Structure 1
């Protein structure tokens, strides 16, 4: 791929929140609060709203009852009201016909649209900040709440991985319409892009796009929250084990992004990651890294084999 420097777009700042669908709402909510370590902040007849202890917003995860697991929507927070308007104009220029919605618990009006890979997305700016109760007030005023860990103690929402039929086309759309920066990609053979890792600011990735193996679209590979250290990932493995949660993959280190990871399934069937570290990009003209194969023939940095389920399982699960 020829590297062409383009003026960076910073109209979108971060992964704001995600909605996961689950056929077992009560069990999923219990997993995320009691085992994964999130905090409930609101509840409706069909949904539960959660946040991690170091999220500065009211909510970063919405769980919604549904016949099948999967992604309800993923929402990206704009850098400013003006940036939001510019990105909506960019979407319109590309033929994306979305609609304005009034908002939801924790955020104001948002522009809802369907991305080329078949996933429902939102872009918004207005958000409600988390205000700690007296017993949650931190000693240090530059953190959202007192550190009072329970379960895995997930610290903040980190990234999402979506399956798409055409990685190159979906990646180009995210770059051009929303301002994502390509950091790494996997191209085993010429013109056969099967994975792309993109970020909005300096992280290794806010969004990963990997090729959908089936004749469908709109599926979720995984959602990840970060913990503070590698040791927290190892501790998470023990906590999952003690709570009867199957460890699908890890703990280990990714080749791409260099993050330390562990994958499990929440009761509804969605794959959830515990993530720590990862490279940060500080150069404004960073040249994306193209992988033609796994490093040294390894699927992970230290040689841990990738389980077959990691390439075959996604939500919603395909029948037959």
Structure 2
């Protein structure tokens, strides 16, 4: 199968104490380890050691981790990345905390992707034998886990090609400059699975982060999250609202360092043989914010 999912995001924050309050007390992630200006977190419904790593000293994404189904998938992706022309390097177990032997890939977007098969198992908070529906003592929003991320790069079409040819992702939805045959690709929402997107890519500076998102179950949980953000004086960007693209329900907000987060619920089941949904640039406002049908300036300019 190859890539199972985006397993983790590693980001920088300006003040670790403030960031810990945001991610642990407002979002409700569980701390699994801390050392040397870094902290590792997981959601209550995630079973691997971590899905979020915070590192003090700046803002923006350091790297992404992608988990593969089989150990030999690492070899396969390495060859495909090299054939594509991307730089690769191996890393050994322990070099990345709680992660086994893996592969570091440098895609054309200017980001860093780590491919791995093994991560220390932490276990579900509700267990695996006759479990309850959720932990009784959730904190804050109580997000179950990491959902997806949106990054920027100069050549969206090239990055789409890389994710398709090297990672076996497929494009569920995309934004084109027009419906003409020679139209430019402005954004893509891609996945290796039935989730509507694991990575989205839009045009912009190389190596930048637009946002990373946490999953919620439904619209009611999105509304509750927005209430908690108000209680905790979290800086909100947009929402609660709905996307046209993906049909997801959403609130965008910022961590104390200025990295954009999202809580996301809904969407639809994606399949490789489902027709790709095409949006045109003149309808992008409706595609991103279905109700207001326009983008705010922060959403298009604030990157970390």
Which TM-score band applies after superposition, normalised by the shorter structure?
over 0.9
Corresponding position: 1:79 with 2:86 = no
Structure 1 CA distance for aligned equivalents of residues 225 and 121 of structure 2: 28
Structure 1 CA distance for aligned equivalents of residues 24 and 297 of structure 2: 29
Say whether the 8 Å CA contact 2:222–2:263 is kept in structure 1. Answer: yes
Corresponding position: 1:290 with 2:281 = no
What is the Cα deviation at residue 31 of structure 1?
0.6
Gaps of 5+ in 1: 1-9, 316-320
Q: How many residues align?
A: 298
SS in structure 2 of the partner of residue 169 of structure 1: helix
Deviating 4+ runs (over 3 angstroms): 136-147, 293-297
The equivalent of 1:92 in structure 2 is 82
The equivalent of 2:16 in structure 1 is 25
What is the Cα deviation at residue 99 of structure 1?
1.1
The equivalent of 1:235 in structure 2 is 224
Structure 2 CA distance for aligned equivalents of residues 119 and 168 of structure 1: 16
Say whether the 8 Å CA contact 2:33–2:41 is kept in structure 1. Answer: yes
Say whether the 8 Å CA contact 2:87–2:107 is kept in structure 1. Answer: no
The equivalent of 2:197 in structure 1 is 205
What is the Cα deviation at residue 140 of structure 1?
5.3
Q: 1:137 to 1:154 in 2, by over 3 A?
A: closer
The equivalent of 1:61 in structure 2 is 52
Say whether the 8 Å CA contact 1:295–1:301 is kept in structure 2. Answer: no
TM-score with structure 1 length normalisation? 0.88
Corresponding position: 1:248 with 2:229 = no
Q: 1:156 to 1:144 in 2, by over 3 A?
A: farther
Equivalent of 1:166 in 131, 150, 155: 155
Superimposed CA distance per residue, residues 223-261 of structure 1 (whole angstroms, 9 cap, x where no aligned partner)? 001012211110011100011112111110100001100
Structure 2 CA distance for aligned equivalents of residues 297 and 116 of structure 1: 27
The equivalent of 1:45 in structure 2 is 36
Q: Which has the higher strand share?
A: 2
SS in structure 1 of the partner of residue 166 of structure 2: helix
Q: 1:144 to 1:130 in 2, by over 3 A?
A: farther
Structure 2 CA distance for aligned equivalents of residues 94 and 11 of structure 1: 17
Structure 1 CA distance for aligned equivalents of residues 132 and 200 of structure 2: 28
Corresponding position: 1:149 with 2:138 = yes
Structure 2 CA distance for aligned equivalents of residues 147 and 209 of structure 1: 37
SS in structure 2 of the partner of residue 194 of structure 1: strand
Gaps of 5+ in 2: none
Q: 1:143 to 1:114 in 2, by over 3 A?
A: farther
Structure 2 CA distance for aligned equivalents of residues 177 and 12 of structure 1: 10
Say whether the 8 Å CA contact 1:56–1:144 is kept in structure 2. Answer: no
Structure 2 CA distance for aligned equivalents of residues 70 and 289 of structure 1: 30
SS in structure 2 of the partner of residue 127 of structure 1: coil
Say whether the 8 Å CA contact 1:252–1:304 is kept in structure 2. Answer: no
